């Protein structure tokens, strides 16, 4: 509110609810959301994905069905990329299947960052050298997710 020279929350609320408040609404969403993201965060989730999800996915592959996984709060994209890497490593036949991981987030700024698929070294903890070589390449001290893998 101070940056906008507004004296009270009511004025701020009116602004973000108005047509002229579109940009500030985006800034507000960015400020209010927790954009915490790590590659392969919560290892037990990947164990469950292998134990519970993979058998169903293999059946879908065998039937030629579409496979969709939704990462609802994708933040900077490490989670959906981790899911895709894990699944493609565990079931290589997914690479020729109709397989997609949908990555969404309330904050359009982090979704834009995720779509670029470029991560500084400090952000790639948890990604094995095997996965880096399979699904990405390093350039200018950054990890670049392979374009074919991003689509």
Q: What percent of the chain has pLDDT over 70?
A: 97
Task: Give 123's pLDDT tier (boundaries 50, 70, 90).
Answer: very high
What is the Cα–Cα distance from 119 to 141, expressed in whole angstroms? 9
Q: What percent of the chain has pLDDT over 90?
A: 68
**Exposed (0-12), middle (13-18) or buried (19+): which is 147, by Cβ within 10 Å?**
exposed
Task: Give 151's pLDDT tier (boundaries 50, 70, 90).
Answer: low
For the chain, domains (ranges, CATH) are 1-32 (no CATH), 43-150 (3.40.50.150)
pLDDT at 30 over 80: no
CA 81 to mean position of chain CA atoms: 6
Instruction: Give residue 67's pLDDT.
Output: 95
Task: Give 126's pLDDT tier (boundaries 50, 70, 90).
Answer: confident
């Amino acid at each position: 509110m101070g940056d906008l020279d507004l004296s009270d929350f009511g004025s701020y609320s009116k602004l973000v609810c108005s047509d002229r408040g579109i940009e500030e609404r985006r800034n507000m969403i960015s400020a209010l959301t927790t954009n915490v993201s790590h590659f392969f965060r919560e290892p037990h989730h990947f164990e469950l994905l292998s134990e519970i999800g993979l058998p169903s996915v293999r059946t879908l592959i065998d039937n030629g069905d579409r496979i969709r996984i939704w990462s609802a709060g994708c933040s900077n994209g490490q989670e959906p990329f981790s899911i895709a890497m894990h699944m493609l490593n565990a079931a290589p036949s997914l690479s020729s299947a109709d397989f997609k991981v949908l990555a969404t987030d309330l904050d359009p700024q982090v979704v834009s960052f995720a779509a670029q698929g470029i991560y500084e070294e400090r952000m790639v903890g948890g990604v094995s050298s095997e996965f880096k070589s399979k699904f990405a390449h390093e350039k200018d001290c950054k990890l670049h997710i392979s374009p074919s893998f991003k689509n």
